[in-house]
């Protein structure tokens, strides 16, 4: 050694056993649940392979089924005009944007899509990201810092919660749609923080209900906080022309600070957007890590979303048909004795079942009878609130809905009669 002293002795290594992926507790839970399903001879309802385009019908194992498991709310995914736009973009640009728009430059379709989204939702500007989930995680995580505060609805999507965690801000959850409680929290805590964000959704994807947006806007005013609305499920669904919850509630879109949405549902692509003031969008465009350090949206996806907006703006009757379908589903289900919880009769309705195993079993029975509707089980919802979830599209006919409700009611009643009462938790 250079000082001519004693050579450094190698430090003793403390032996540790490398963790085994196979022993991770979450994985063990999944295996236990699968073993129980196997005992009941119920097929795994998750990761099924669907062929072709999912709309009012879908194809599984060569069978055509009535489909209530897609977010293709207005039937735009697979619409000839949308597919043609994507194909033309592939021919012109190739598939990938290859790098961040900041360094590698953007394509005309990026700018056009952002202009169109901003125009459609009634905001000054918009910015698109490559994933809806990553939009919430990245934007909330970036906008708030450890001394800030976020208040979010207890039924908020995972991406909102993950963004809140990433930010390091103080997190407070208020009971679902309980704005009295939200106001209490705001009154008690808002003054003590620099930035305060209230995050809600336009249409909740578990219960199919909506918040009182006018009240949320009044609280935003009163307490001087930012209001963010996730319109993943409400864009194209709420409001007479599908502009979302602001249109539905008769609220000025400028009274919401951050509009967030996804391109994966009504807009038949993939990715997320933020729409709001020019300052918000400029801030994110130059500083949000999930935008700056991530690839730009693939041009064919952007082109498909633009074409989807074209069809949506031209054919608002699709929105009206979806609304009529949502209301019909709820009305028929109630008449058949099914419990649709708090569904407001938009594109999403649960049918309450009561425990995870029954939900998985019922979904399997429906599948055998030609209806695809997925079970939602613990931990996505509390165990006693396990349910089937029906997503409507504007493409469903009255007969499709009536048939699905009739089959569901029959199978639900048969299950109750059989006294099928095994609890997933007990397995």
Q: Are 186 and 170 in contact (CB under 8 A)?
A: no
Of 133, 142, 323, 396, the residue at the interface with ligand PMP (CB under 6 A) is: 133
Q: Does 209 bind ligand PMP (CB under 6 A)?
A: no
Minimum distance of ligand PMP from residue 75's CB (angstroms): 18
Binding mask 271-300 for ligand PMP (x = CB under 6 A): -x----------------------------
Of 72, 159, 167, 266, the residue at the interface with ligand PMP (CB under 6 A) is: 159
Q: Does 389 bind ligand PMP (CB under 6 A)?
A: no
Q: Specify the pairing of strand 348-352 against strand 387-391.
A: antiparallel
31 belongs to the catalytic site: no
From 110, 142, 157, 233, active-site residue: 233
Q: What are phi and psi of 83, to 5 degrees?
A: -65, -40
Q: What are phi and psi of 223, to 5 degrees?
A: -105, 0
Minimum distance of ligand PMP from residue 289's CB (angstroms): 17
Q: Does 230 bind ligand PMP (CB under 6 A)?
A: yes
- Reading the block at residue 70, the tokens are 């897609």
Comparing every residue's Cβ against ligand PMP, the nearest one is 132
Binding mask 353-382 for ligand PMP (x = CB under 6 A): ------------------------------
Q: Does 387 bind ligand PMP (CB under 6 A)?
A: no
233 belongs to the catalytic site: yes
Q: How many residues bind ligand PMP (CB under 6 A)?
A: 14
Q: Does 207 bind ligand PMP (CB under 6 A)?
A: no
Minimum distance of ligand PMP from residue 232's CB (angstroms): 3
Question: What is the residue-wise DSSP string for 29-62?
Answer: HHHHHHHHHHHTTPPP-TT--EES--SSEEEETT
Stretch that binds ligand PMP, among 39-47, 175-183, 225-233, 399-407 (CB under 6 A): 225-233
Of 114, 148, 201, 248, the residue at the interface with ligand PMP (CB under 6 A) is: 201
HSE at residue 295, side-chain half, CA atoms within 13 A, is 11
Q: Which of residues 93-132 bind ligand PMP (CB under 6 A)?
A: 131-132
Strand partners, 65: 58
Of 66, 89, 149, 232, the residue at the interface with ligand PMP (CB under 6 A) is: 232
- Reading the block at residue 175, the tokens are 């009971």
Q: Does 157 bind ligand PMP (CB under 6 A)?
A: yes
Binding mask 233-272 for ligand PMP (x = CB under 6 A): x----------------------------x-x-------x
396 belongs to the catalytic site: no
CB burial of residue 256 (10 Å; 0-12, 13-18, 19+)? buried
Tokens 């089980």 correspond to what residue? 377
45/208 with CB nearer ligand PMP: 208
Long-range contacts of 422-426 (CB under 8 A, 24+ apart): 422/36, 422/355, 422/357, 423/355, 423/356, 423/357, 423/383, 424/33, 424/36, 424/355, 424/356, 424/357, 424/377, 424/378, 424/383, 424/386, 425/355, 425/356, 425/378, 425/383
**Cα-based angle 294, 298, 304 (whole degrees, multiple of 5):** 140
From 265, 321, 396, 412, active-site residue: 265
The kind and range of the H/E element at 62 are: none
Stretch that binds ligand PMP, among 62-70, 118-126, 227-235, 247-255 (CB under 6 A): 227-235
Question: What is the residue-wise DSSP string for 276-330?
Answer: E-HHHHHHHHHH-HHHHTSPPPPHHHHHHHHHHHHHHHH-THHHHHHHHHHHHHH
What is the 8-class DSSP label of residue 396? -
Stretch that binds ligand PMP, among 39-47, 230-238, 286-294, 329-337 (CB under 6 A): 230-238
Tokens 């293709």 correspond to what residue? 72
Q: Does 205 bind ligand PMP (CB under 6 A)?
A: yes
From 131, 156, 167, 205, active-site residue: 205
Q: Specify the pairing of strand 50-51 against strand 57-60.
A: antiparallel
Instruction: State the catalytic residues.
Output: 205, 233, 265
Question: Which residues form the interface with ligand PMP (CB under 6 A)?
Answer: 131-133, 136, 157, 159, 201, 205, 230, 232-233, 262, 264, 272
């Amino acid at each position: 050694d250079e000082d001519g002293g004693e050579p450094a002795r190698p430090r003793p290594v403390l032996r540790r056993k490398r963790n085994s992926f196979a022993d991770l507790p979450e994985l063990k839970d999944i295996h236990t649940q699968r073993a129980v399903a196997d005992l009941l001879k119920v097929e795994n309802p998750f990761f099924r392979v669907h062929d072709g385009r999912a709309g009012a019908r879908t194809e599984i194992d060569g069978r055509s089924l009535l489909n209530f498991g897609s977010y293709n709310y207005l039937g735009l995914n697979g619409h000839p005009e949308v597919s043609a736009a994507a194909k033309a973009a592939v021919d012109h640009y190739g598939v990938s944007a290859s790098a961040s728009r900041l360094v590698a430059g953007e394509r005309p379709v990026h700018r056009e899509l952002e202009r169109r989204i901003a125009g459609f939702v009634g905001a000054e500007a918009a910015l698109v990201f490559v994933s809806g989930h990553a939009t919430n995680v990245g934007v909330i995580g970036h906008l708030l810092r450890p001394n800030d505060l976020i208040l979010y609805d207890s039924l908020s999507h995972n991406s909102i919660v993950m963004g809140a965690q990433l930010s390091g801000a103080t997190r407070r959850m208020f009971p679902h749609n309980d704005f009295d409680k939200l106001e209490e929290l705001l009154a008690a805590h808002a003054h003590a923080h620099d930035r305060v964000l209230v995050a809600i959704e336009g249409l909740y994807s578990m219960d199919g209900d909506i918040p009182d947006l006018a009240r949320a806007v009044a609280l935003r005013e009163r307490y001087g906080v930012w209001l963010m609305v996730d319109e993943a499920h409400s864009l194209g669904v709420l409001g007479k022309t599908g502009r979302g919850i602001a249109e539905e509630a008769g609220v000025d879109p400028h009274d919401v600070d951050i509009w967030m949405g996804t391109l994966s549902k009504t807009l038949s692509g993939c990715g997320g957007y933020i729409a709001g003031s020019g300052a918000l969008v400029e801030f994110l465009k130059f500083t949000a890590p999930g935008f700056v350090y991530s690839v730009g949206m693939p041009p064919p996806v952007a082109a498909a979303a633009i074409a989807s907006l074209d069809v949506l703006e031209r054919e608002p009757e699709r929105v009206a048909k979806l609304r009529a379908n949502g209301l019909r589903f709820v009305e028929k289900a109630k008449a058949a004795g099914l419990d649709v919880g708090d569904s407001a009769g938009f594109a999403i309705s649960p049918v309450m079942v009561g425990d995870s195993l029954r939900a998985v079993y019922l979904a399997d029975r429906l599948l055998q009878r030609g209806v695809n509707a997925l079970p939602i089980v613990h931990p996505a919802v509390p165990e006693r609130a396990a349910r089937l979830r029906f997503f409507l599209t504007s493409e469903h006919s009255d007969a499709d809905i009536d048939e699905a409700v009739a089959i569901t009611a029959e199978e639900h009643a048969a299950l109750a009669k059989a006294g099928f009462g095994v609890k997933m938790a007990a397995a």
